[in-house]
Structure 1
Amino acid sequence: MKRKTSLLLAVLLILSSFTTFGFAKEIDKDKFGTDIEFLKNVIYFVLDNYQYEVEQEDILEGLYDGFFNVLDDYSVYYTPKEYSAKLDITAGEFTGIGVQIIDVNGQIVVVTPLPGSPALDAGIKTGDIIKYVDGYDITGITSSQTSLLIRGIEGTSVNIGILRGEEALNFEIVRSKITTSVVESEIMDNNIGYLRVTDFADNTVELVEKELSKFDQNGVKKIVIDMRNNGGGTLQAAVDLLNLFVTEGPVVYVDYASGKEDIYESTLKEQKYEIAVLINGGSASATEVFAGAVKYKNEGVIVGTNSFGKGIVQTLYPLKSGSGVIFTTAEYFSVDKTPVHKTGVTPDIIVENEAIDLSKYPSFSKENKPVPGTVSLDVLAAEMILNTLGYDVNEPDGVYDQKSFDQIVKFQNDNFLYSYGTIDIATQNALYNALVNHTHKDVEDLQLKEAIKALNK
């Protein structure tokens, strides 16, 4: 009986953890109490009659997950380990590939690869469905569990199998320390400022103000604000940033479950800068608050592709057990009451950037170290990459001949690797990273080009 009692108390713990926050909706306490009593009886019955051993922790995790699974895709229960990992990410530093994911109808979907991340460099895109992590079928597991599988030791690689439309793709990605650089800036030709905002954190506005001060010192009056692949952050940070760029009046409406509506406003008397805002399918949440206000107040031009469509407010709560939950507490609407959730913000000027397809290159197995005479897909991958990088190899055929050997040695020399001709794991990683850098360096940013054009009119 002691085991059963402790299990029931643990089930009730998650409910009692919320008592300090109150409930937005009226609860039928009599029925709720009856349901809890029924749940208790089910637990006791199973524990008394189930044939096999089952861990109490597994039962609890199943109960908690089941509760949150009936909510929306963005409401999640975190185990203590998952919650700790979530706090690491929120703090702005973790080791992984740099990709935001969510559960959608039982599938793990990419919201956005983080700017400058290994995931973005590898070619992971918004909307990709992750199916495998290092060959492990992730069907049925949560986004939090998937994140733990993807994360790992810096410098190690992880194989991500995705579904893009009807096409199955594999990406070999080297993990690195992900530190979000929230704000970057430069002054481009014709004295146009470029401001990149990758997150809406507590210090975002302070960082932006420092960059604007530099712009002011150089007489910059026109600014491209790049919010592509900005997955959001805090609502207040978005509102505070809008106070620097759009004039007084409402900028967003927030409707809470209780029926309460909050109206957030700008107090800026006069617009100081002419702005163009870049967004894409990886722009979500607080980014859509910002872009929506600029668009519907007609105080700037929005350029790029349709945003993600995450128009909700979420709250992260720690629980007494060391675990935690995040769930949706409100939905927001643009200035003209246009819904954002599941629709997104449509740019004034729609421009697609050229896609970079790395999927045509076979992935390294990371299990073999080919030597001369080897015939394998690993050799084919190395030859194809060397060919793309401009090394003098024969037509890639997967046969490790003398010419390929000579070029591998040359590549190893060029990249300060041990130059002995074996295509070892370090060489495989270096080849892939060199390919990523090569394919990205000469790609024209058509969206940025169009934003500059709009400001020069």
Structure 2
Amino acid sequence: MKKIINKHPYWTVILSIITGILITIAVGLIFFFNFLRGDGTNNNFNRVASVFNQINNDYYRKVDSSKLATGAIDGMLSTLDDPFSNYLTDNDATDLNDSVSGSFGGVGIQVVKKDNKIEVMSTIDGTPAQKAGLKAGDVINTVDGKSLSGKSLSKAMTLMRGKVGTKVKLGLQRGNTTFTKSITRAKIPVETVTSKMLSQKVGYIAISSVAEKTSKELKAALKRLDKAGAKSYIIDVRNNPGGLMDQALKMSSMFLKNGKTIMQVEDRNGDKESYKASKKLDGGYKVKKPVVVMINGESASAAEIFAAALHQSANVPLVGSKSYGKGTVQNITQYTDSDELKLTIAKWLTPNGTWIHKKGIIPDYKADYPAMAYITSFDEKKTYTVGQSNTDIKNLQIALKDLGYYDGTPTSDFTDQFATAVKRYQSENKLTANGQVDAKTMRSIEQKVIEELSKNDPALKMAEKVSVAKR
């Protein structure tokens, strides 16, 4: 997963020494933090150590001490009620490092653990997950039939990732509706920035995530578009799950006057540190032309830092829908080559001191995809006809309404009016025109929705208008 991360190598040295002295990483971790605090809580350390030793020595079966230690750490982290603090081992640690370096294999989703459930935080643009219609807030119940109940975030990530070209079946829940998606794994793009010239000389740049080379890629894209004659820019960070804080700072600095605040970081004691635009961050490169930034409900973390910085410190307008709302900073402490702790260490605040955590950023110009973009997948094992009532039926009505075949108010009831709309759709799309919705009709409608959404982007149209008007 891509988070706001700061790496501090000196932590690794200190904790490695302590880990070698104590029985396990878990015990070492507790001891170290108690020692730093000096608040007389060594009794808690002794309690954990005693339980560990008793289980390890007296349990009626032999136990894996490494798993026991990891379980202790996972237990401690679960008490934080923080989906962004995780202990990662083996492949999961590798997956995180691959993610922030901008290259990994999988389906293209960022996940968090909320209320003991694995939830989609966002999908990455152009990946199989986005094409399959997964959305922020979807709960992943199963992977290839294996329940994720009680599973760690790390285990869930391991199950979902695999060899490029192989399929993985996800059992999902969106609201009260459950459905499955079979997704073919792919290599998630290494490049995080794409660009093109739109009409009226508007330079369009999409940033899919914030990885190690994103600021360089962004600068290169801006220079290309500038050379091609762009008169204004749209920076699209929709569906961007975020990533590295240092990259967000470098990206933001390109659009701000030196000395302008990019963000603030507040530690556990309430002490704040401000980060400001500077030549050190952007190398002296500044964007002088009008800019518009696009956000949505899957813009999170470093993407929100970027959007808020430009909005509040350079009066850049925001277009789209409310962002995700992740206002915390994580760092990584590495214990071994395959074990690392990702821990929330601070809040980050916008330039004016606002904490957007769980609130998100509200755009100046609200524009979004049509309602059919947010419907769930249909249950293709069923056939629907007049007289039935089901959530799927309401979603089908929403889809056909946005596609121009149904003019009624979407409800869960399969009415004669809807049957007429279905017949019309079937007739125009070379299907058996019987007014019933079977698996073949469902697949056809679902594909039409995907095709239409790829052509119809109201938020981008709005951003183009704003971009031209700002010149």
Give TM-score scaled by structure 2 length: 0.76
Deviation at 1:45, TM superposition (A): 3.0
Cα distance in 2 for residues equivalent to 1:284 and 1:309: 6
Cα distance in 2 for residues equivalent to 1:399 and 1:390: 16
Match for 1:266 among 266, 277, 285? 277
Deviation at 1:392, TM superposition (A): 4.2
> What residue number does 2:237 align with?
227
> What residue number does 2:346 align with?
330
> What residue number does 1:362 align with?
380
Match for 2:294 among 266, 270, 278? 278
Pick which of 47-56 and 91-100 moved more.
47-56
Matched residue type, 1:45 = Q
1:176 aligns with 2:186: yes
- The alpha-carbon distance between structure 1 residues 9 and 64, as it changes in their structure 2 partners (threshold 3 A), is farther
Deviation at 1:292, TM superposition (A): 0.9
Matched residue type, 2:368 = E
- Contact map agreement 1:24 1:257 (CA 8 A) in 2: no
User: What SS does structure 2 have at the residue aligned with 1:456?
Assistant: helix
Deviation at 1:437, TM superposition (A): 9.5
Pick which of 321-330 and 390-399 moved more.
390-399
Cα distance in 2 for residues equivalent to 1:67 and 1:291: 34
User: What SS does structure 1 have at the residue aligned with 2:170?
Assistant: strand
- Contact map agreement 1:245 1:273 (CA 8 A) in 2: no
Matched residue type, 2:162 = G
Cα distance in 1 for residues equivalent to 2:40 and 2:272: 30
In the alignment, structure 2 segments of 5+ residues that lack a partner are: 1-18, 383-421
User: What SS does structure 2 have at the residue aligned with 1:154?
Assistant: coil
- The alpha-carbon distance between structure 1 residues 92 and 215, as it changes in their structure 2 partners (threshold 3 A), is closer
Deviation at 1:233, TM superposition (A): 1.4
> What residue number does 2:365 align with?
349
- Contact map agreement 1:109 1:128 (CA 8 A) in 2: yes
Alignment size in residue pairs: 397
User: What SS does structure 2 have at the residue aligned with 1:297?
Assistant: helix
> What residue number does 1:251 align with?
262
- Contact map agreement 1:389 1:435 (CA 8 A) in 2: no
Matched residue type, 2:68 = I
User: What SS does structure 2 have at the residue aligned with 1:57?
Assistant: helix
> What residue number does 1:186 align with?
196
Matched residue type, 1:201 = A
Cα distance in 1 for residues equivalent to 2:212 and 2:205: 18
Q: Please give the residue correspondences for 1:38-53 in structure 2 after superposition, counting only pairs within 5 Å.
A: 38-53=47-62
1:57 aligns with 2:75: no
- Contact map agreement 1:251 1:265 (CA 8 A) in 2: yes
Matched residue type, 2:191 = S
Q: Please give the residue correspondences for 1:139-158 in structure 2 after superposition, counting only pairs within 5 Å.
A: 139-158=149-168
- Contact map agreement 1:309 1:344 (CA 8 A) in 2: yes
Q: Deviations over 1:335-371 (max 9, x none)?
A: 111112121111111112124346126289xxxxxxx
1:455 aligns with 2:467: yes
Cα distance in 1 for residues equivalent to 2:33 and 2:317: 41
Matched residue type, 2:267 = Y
Q: Deviations over 1:174-195 (max 9, x none)?
A: 1112124211111110001101
Deviation at 1:66, TM superposition (A): 0.7
User: What SS does structure 1 have at the residue aligned with 2:345?
Assistant: strand
- The alpha-carbon distance between structure 1 residues 260 and 276, as it changes in their structure 2 partners (threshold 3 A), is same
1:394 aligns with 2:432: yes
Cα distance in 1 for residues equivalent to 2:438 and 2:294: 46
Cα distance in 2 for residues equivalent to 1:329 and 1:399: 51
- Contact map agreement 2:426 2:432 (CA 8 A) in 1: no
Matched residue type, 2:292 = A
- The alpha-carbon distance between structure 1 residues 75 and 399, as it changes in their structure 2 partners (threshold 3 A), is closer
> What residue number does 2:7 align with?
none
Matched residue type, 1:218 = A
User: What SS does structure 2 have at the residue aligned with 1:213?
Assistant: helix
Give TM-score scaled by structure 1 length: 0.78
Match for 1:339 among 332, 355, 364? 355
> What residue number does 1:295 align with?
311
Runs of 4+ displaced beyond 4 Å: 7-11, 14-19, 22-26, 268-271, 387-393, 395-400
- Contact map agreement 1:247 1:271 (CA 8 A) in 2: no
- Contact map agreement 2:118 2:153 (CA 8 A) in 1: yes
Q: Deviations over 1:25-57 (max 9, x none)?
A: 95136432x322222322333345433443323
1:84 aligns with 2:94: yes
Q: Please give the residue correspondences for 1:306-325 in structure 2 after superposition, counting only pairs within 5 Å.
A: 306-320=322-336, 322-325=338-341
- Contact map agreement 2:100 2:212 (CA 8 A) in 1: no
Larger relative contact order, structure 1 or 2 (CA cutoff 8 Å, min sep 6): 2
Matched residue type, 1:158 = V
1:137 aligns with 2:175: no
Match for 2:451 among 422, 433, 439? 439
Cα distance in 2 for residues equivalent to 1:271 and 1:212: 8
Cα distance in 1 for residues equivalent to 2:177 and 2:323: 23
* Residue identity (%): 26
- The alpha-carbon distance between structure 1 residues 219 and 120, as it changes in their structure 2 partners (threshold 3 A), is same
Deviation at 1:149, TM superposition (A): 0.8
